[in-house]
Amino acid sequence: MLLLAIGLSACVPRQLLVNSAADALTAQGQSEEEDLGLAREASAFYLKLSESLLRQTPGHLPLAESVASGLTQYAYAFVAFEAERLGATDNRAAHQLNDRARRLYLRAHKHAMAALVKTSPGFDKALRQTNPQQWPAVRPDQVGVAYWAAASWGAYIALSTDEPDAVADLPLAVRLATLAYQRAPGHGAGALASLMGNFEAARPGGSVAKATAYFDEAIALAAGQQAGPLVAKAEAIAQAAGDRVAFEALLRQALAASAQRYDLANQVMRLRAQWLLDSADDLF
């Protein structure tokens, strides 16, 4: 009993230290970095360190959210986007980058889902039930992790169209996003509503009107300071409809919005908006 007590007393300070480090890393991950190049260079070290710590504290929801968001955003901004830009000139390089982006998205999804399962045992199994009454409830403190679990899942599926098993999971990704949306529709100043719009536009049998409503909700929640929902609507609605006038108008609004708030997300979307405008002749 004495040895057991000594062992337990030794574990408590260590766990407190791990949790404190997890809190510190989470805060660092949430801090704004205005320099896009510096953010890219710093991301690898931060993400590896955070992943290592998350494995010791898998139920630390803020750290899990930070890791999942970091991996997803890194894959989107620095890997998948570069693949798109290379697609017309170097198909092989583009394919390699897309494969890397897929793996990063899946990695982010696994971290987020592991945290949801750790804090709500059986979450993953409940999500796959056919009876809606058996679907898991997303707690308020789980919304951010659920959002990134769904976003990274959707991005992974979008790059895995040649893998039937991956594509078959799209309804589950939509379901997870919907459960999070039902809990906190305004999460992320419109980020979750925008994700719902993307899913509605992408899913078989999706409603263009409903997707448009989600995007408009996201744009309103962002209060003109986030370029993301505008770019998303331009691609998912205007481009899909062949409406070049609306496409270019939304992208110009995105450029204006990104100038209102100079943060990393807006810088990434500003680059994308300008690239899409420059590529309009090839897209229409």
pLDDT of residue 20: 45
CATH label of the domain that carries residue 279: 1.25.40
Asked if residue 17 is part of any domain, the answer here is no
Mean pLDDT of 6-29: 46
| Rg of the chain, C-alpha, whole Å | 20
Q: Are residues 252 and 207 in the same domain?
A: yes
Q: Supply the CATH number for residue 146's domain.
A: 1.25.40.920
Q: Using the structure block, give the residue that is written with the tokens 């999971």.
A: 169
What type of residue is 244?
R
Instruction: Tell me: do 66 and 108 sit in the same domain.
Output: yes
Same-domain pairing of 274 and 145:
no
134 inside domain: yes
Last residue in a domain, options 167, 184, 201 = 184
Asked whether residue 86 falls in the same domain as residue 195, the answer is no
Considering only residues 117 and 18, tell me which one the structure prediction assigns the higher pLDDT. Answer: 117
Query: Do residues 130 and 211 both lie within one domain?
Result: no
List pLDDT tens digits, range 102-159. Answer: 999 999 999 999 999 999 999 999 999 999 999 999 999 999 999 999 999 999 999 9
Residue 122, φ and ψ in degrees, nearest 5 = 85, 5
Which tokens belong to 119? Answer: 């804090």
Contact between residue 65 and residue 148 where contact means Cβ atoms under 8 Å apart: yes
The answer on 148 and 203 residing in a single domain is no
Helix, strand, coil shares of the chain, percent, nearest 5, are 80, 0, 20
- Is 51 part of any domain? yes
If asked whether residues 43 and 158 sit together in one domain, one would say: yes
Domain boundary among 184, 212, 233: 184
Which class for 166: exposed (0-12), middle (13-18), buried (19 or more C-beta within 10 A)? middle
- Domains of the chain: total: 2
- The arithmetic mean of pLDDT across residues 244-250, rounded, is 97
Average of per-residue pLDDT across 2-15: 45
Tokens of 268: 């990434």
pLDDT tens-digit readout, 251-263: 999 999 998 887 8
176-235 pLDDT, tens digit each: 999 999 999 999 999 999 999 999 999 999 999 999 999 999 999 999 899 999 999 999
Tell how far CA 212 is from the center of its chain.
20
The residue with greater pLDDT, 112 or 44, is 112
Integer Cα distance of 62 and 25 in angstroms: 9
In terms of domains, do 193 and 173 share one?
A: no
Give the span between the Cα atoms of 103 and 69, in whole angstroms.
14
169 lies in the same domain as 279 = no
Which H/E stretch holds residue 29?
A: helix 2-30
For residues 202 and 83, state if they share a domain.
no
Give me the domain span that covers residue 67. Answer: 38-184
Model confidence at 80: pLDDT above 90: yes
Looking at residue 5, its pLDDT comes to: 42
Q: Which of 174, 116, 173 is nearest to 144 (CA)?
A: 116
Closest by CA to 268, choosing from 235, 216, 226, 215, is: 226
pLDDT digits (tens, 9 = 90+) for 181-197: 999 999 999 999 999 99
Same domain, 92 and 174: yes
Judging by beta carbons within 10 Å of its beta carbon (0-12, 13-18, 19+), is residue 141 exposed, middle or buried?
Answer: exposed
Q: Count of residues for the chain?
A: 284
- At residue 34, the pLDDT reads 63
Residue pair 205/219 in contact (Cβ under 8 Å)? The answer is no
| Domain final residue, candidates 149, 184, 219 | 184
For the beta carbon of residue 229, count every other beta carbon within 10 angstroms. Answer: 30
| Beta strand residue intervals within 51-131, DSSP E | none
Rounded to an integer, the average pLDDT of 1-25 is 45
Task: Mark whether 212 and 242 lie in a shared domain.
Answer: yes
